[in-house]
Amino acid sequence: MTPSHHYDALILGAGQAGVPLARALASAGRRTALVERVHVGGTCINEGCTPTKTMVASARVAYLARRAADYGVRTGPVTVDLPGVRERKRAIVESFRAGSQRRLEATEHLDLLFGDARFIGPRSVAVTSDNGERRLAADLVFINTGGRSARPRLEGLARVPALDSTSVMELGELPEHLLVIGGGYIGLEFAQMFRRFGSGVTVIQRNAQLLPLEDEDVAAEVRSILEQDGVDVVTGADSRCVEPAGDGVRLLIRTPGGDRVLEGSHLLLAAGRVPNTDTLDCGAAGIETDAKGFIKANDRLETSAAGVYALGDVKGGPQFTHVSYDDFRIVRDNVLNGGNATTRDRLVPYTVFLDPQLGRVGLSEREARMRGLEVKVAKLPMNSVARALEMDEARGFIKAVVDAGSRRILGAAVLGIEGGELMSVFQVAMMGNVTCDTLREAVFAHPLLAESLNNLFATLDA
């Protein structure tokens, strides 16, 4: 073990907050160490956004190819080369990862170190690698270690080769029938993806609806779209036990209608995520965690330990790349610029990359009514949107929640073609306190999706 090496700043985890923070601190002249266990880029680049959305794009091409006749285009039989999809995904991930690592290594005053870190005292860690163990200490410590797929307590799970959201993207052949435990964002994206690749797919969801945080009508429409694509959906189902069945698996589930047995060739676990804190020994540094292991942090991202901050998924809350990056901006402004930035009232948009996409921002109708707000709800089916009809992509709807008095937009859900992009129009309007009446009368270029806002808000007073 080497003697402790002291830095101005120590960052644990090269994720979407850790990487830009390391470069910002080092560029400001602060001697900085960035410790990464596996690879630069965090979940987003390596196991999350980049690889999954790359594969979603491949699945959409297969979907459109099979629908070519709907557009008057004749093609032959459509097959999916999953190893080819995988190699395309790997190449894009490697390009993003390598570019980020090169920029880090070229940054003056920054040391990029690989190894497993654990706290050995206040603002002090031991980093273990193939080269042994070294001790690091710093004036400030920033934790950006992220999370990973949760492994549910399911009888028999140790006896079957279950997949998670990382390993499922490394398959070299299509599952004959994929059983997906979990009806959240991750599970549904993979369910539709593999169905479009050609697999049979069944989604098992414990909650009474898919996407339990969404409004009931949104979740119901998502289910309808998936079922139209050939995905079997079972809700209100508690997975009881699993066992090998030939070359596949047999899953026993309990539903309101009684016990059922489902058989599949592969099992995907997509029922939540857990933080990467179990090997950090946060207690040694006086860093408090909650019952699930997430690090407790205030709205300035400060932990219970002086000089220690938590950023990104490791602190719980909305687990999105853009949240992690905004955490970086908050810390940068406060630590380097003497600011007073916080997470209070942060407007967090997100997109579920189904096809069509579900873009969401602000309050849902259910949340607004639970708060006792007086609201009006505008709703427009996508089959009333000219652009969607022209593209033959008219599934879903647009929904906006408006304050009845001020007429300002409180939230929106766009389940439709390029739903995330259209949701961003709502987000910008909300940021600028633009009223629904202004959008109703705005001149949008025809025939863009955005012009649907004219008709959407015309429904409020009809």
CA–CA separation, 143 and 297 (whole Å) = 11
Mean pLDDT of 392-408: 97
pLDDT of residue 28: 97
CA gyration radius for the chain? 24
pLDDT of residue 131: 87
Q: Give per-residue pLDDT as tens, 87-117.
A: 999 999 999 999 999 999 999 999 999 999 9
Q: For the range 61-69, what are the long-range contacts, defined as Cβ-Cβ under 8 Å and sequence gap of 24 or more? A: 62/196, 62/197, 62/198, 63/196, 63/229, 63/355, 67/392
CA distances to 148, 157, 262, 270 from 151, in Å: 9, 9, 19, 9
Mean pLDDT of 266-292: 96
CA–CA separation, 189 and 183 (whole Å) = 9
* Pair 24, 157: CB distance under 8 Å: no
Residue 459 above 70 pLDDT? Answer: yes
pLDDT of residue 414: 98
Residue 410 above 50 pLDDT? Answer: yes
The active-site residue, picked from 6, 109, 177, 446, is 446
pLDDT of residue 192: 98
Mean pLDDT of 181-202: 97
Residue 172 CA, chain-centre distance (Å), reads 24
Q: For the range 347-352, what are the long-range contacts, defined as Cβ-Cβ under 8 Å and sequence gap of 24 or more? A: 347/427, 347/430, 347/431, 348/318, 348/320, 348/322, 348/323, 349/322, 349/423, 349/424, 349/427, 350/318, 350/320, 351/419, 351/420, 351/423, 352/185, 352/188, 352/189, 352/211, 352/222
Neighbours of 105 (CB within 10 A): 11
Mean pLDDT taken over the chain: 96
CA distances to 30, 37, 111, 133, 440 from 130, in Å: 27, 12, 17, 8, 62
User: If DSSP codes are grouped into helix, strand and coil, which group holds residue 365?
Assistant: helix
| Closest-CA residue to 35 (of 133, 108, 122, 121) | 133
Q: Give per-residue pLDDT as tens, 169-180.
A: 999 999 999 999
* Pair 215, 399: CB distance under 8 Å: yes
pLDDT of residue 2: 53
Q: Give per-residue pLDDT as tens, 56-92.
A: 999 999 999 999 999 999 999 999 999 999 999 999 9
pLDDT of residue 1: 45
446 carries an active-site annotation: yes
Q: In the 8-state DSSP scheme, what is residue 302?
A: B
Residue 3 binned pLDDT confidence (cut-offs 50, 70, 90): low
Q: The pTM is what?
A: 0.95
Residue 197 above 90 pLDDT? Answer: yes
| Closest-CA residue to 182 (of 214, 221, 152, 141) | 152
Name which of 40-44, 110-114, 453-457 the model is least confident about: 40-44
pLDDT of residue 356: 98
pLDDT of residue 18: 96
pLDDT of residue 461: 82
Residue 455 above 60 pLDDT? Answer: yes
Residue 4 above 90 pLDDT? Answer: no
Mean pLDDT of 148-173: 95
